[in-house]
Structure 1
Amino acid sequence: MKQELRKAVMAVIVNEEGKVLIGSSPRDGGYKFPQGGLEQGEHFLDGIIRELKEELGVTITTRDIDQSYNETVGYVYPDEEKYIFKRQELNIVKIIYNPSIKLIPQDDEFDELIWIFPSELPKYNTDFRAKAYEKALKICGLL
């Protein structure tokens, strides 16, 4: 039986050109922002620091965080066996990218990372996450 809700956090990482980082996900198909589920009792800022280390091998501190938002975005997972939750709710954290940091995918979360202008996101298959991602970019003031 599927669990109802997964609390999670996503990073909107912005570089000096105003582009955002997305990655191709071999696990889920399509493109997505760096994101992940929160552990029991974990604050979403601690969660994004942990997730970026786990997924991209990068260590950030709260100084790298430009803005965090109390408003959340969410989506319903497709009714497939690989998803153990029915839906996901994400806090958004906007991070200013430090070009001296190397982003290196650490597991099967991403097989390709790309920088795109926020307005280009609809050109990429974000599947069931599309509306939530568009809303997140608007919350961040990027659309």
Structure 2
Amino acid sequence: MEMPTHIVAVGGIVEDEHGNILLVKTIHGGWVFPGGQVEIGENLMDALIREVKEESGIDITVSNLIGVYSNTSTHKWYDGITDVPTKLMLDFRCKPVGGELAISEETSESCWVAKDTVMEYFTKTAFRTRYETYLNFDGNIKYMEYVTDPEFEIKLNRTV
């Protein structure tokens, strides 16, 4: 029996005391909120704290889970060769607690953006959709299944 392979990733929507949202510009994907893959043996919170620090230079505390997303499309990685398996993403609301804006091997820019102008930065529908979940968060965790390839399509959208 072949074991299934999934990518587990975390995303942090970091809002400062002035209502600004932390964004990073990635080398491959344009503007996004920071996050990334959970490494082997790493818990979700530690992974998110590490990823936000690596990508933006900002230290955070993780507040609460707001959304769980399954990207069930199979597509090629940026190299055009590697198959990307099903991806499970968990988004959390976060608060900054220190650090200075910086860039990394994965990011070319990082900045604080007014909450009501964040949508103007996103070019990927998946990030727009996930940010809308943050804006509309009412205490109920959103679960969504979508595919991004060949085009973005929501297949399931509910609260859990």
TM-score (norm 2): 0.66
* Distance apart, 1:12 and its partner CA: 1.1
1:113 maps onto 2:110 in alignment:
yes
Instruction: Output the amino acid matched with 2:137.
Output: I
CA deviations on 1:24-74 (whole Å, 9 max, x unpaired) are 22222x2101110012342210111221233234455xxx33x12174134
Structure 2: which 5+ runs fail to align? 140-160
Number of matched pairs: 132
Change in 2 beyond 3 A, CA 1:27/1:38: same
> In structure 1, how many angstroms separate the alpha carbons of the residues matched to 2:32 and 2:74?
15
Q: C-alpha distance in 1, partners of 2:47/2:54? A: 10
Q: 1:115 to 1:70 in 2, by over 3 A?
A: closer
Pair 1:74–1:17, CA change in 2 (3 A): farther
Name 2:154's counterpart in structure 1.
none
Give distance in 1, aligned partners of 2:59 and 2:108: 20
Q: TM-score by structure 1 length?
A: 0.72
In 1, Cα distance between equivalents of 2:113 and 2:41: 33
Candidates 129, 132, 135, aligned match of 1:134: 132
Greater fraction of residues in helix: 1
2:12 equivalent in structure 1: 11
2:50 matches 1:50: yes
Unpaired runs of at least 5, structure 1: none
Which of 1 and 2 has higher RCO (CA within 8 Å, sep 6+)? 1
Name the counterpart of 1:39: 39
Q: 1:34 to 1:73 in 2, by over 3 A?
A: same
Q: Does 1:89 align with 2:88?
A: yes
- Computed over aligned residues only, the root mean square deviation of the Cα atoms, in angstroms, reads 2.8
User: For 2:74 and 2:113, how far apart are their aligned partners in 1?
Assistant: 26
Higher strand share: 2
* Aligned sequence identity (%): 23
Rounded to whole Å, the distance in 2 between the matches of 1:138 and 1:77 is 26
SS in 1 for 2:133: helix
Task: Tell me the equivalent position of 1:79.
Answer: 75
How far does the alpha carbon of each residue in 1:67-125 deviate from its partner, in whole angstroms, 9 at most, with x for none?
12174134466834426424432222222223x52121121x22122222333232123
- The alpha-carbon distance between structure 1 residues 38 and 51, as it changes in their structure 2 partners (threshold 3 A), is same
Could you say which structure has the larger radius of gyration? Answer: 2
Paired position in structure 2 for 1:27 = 28
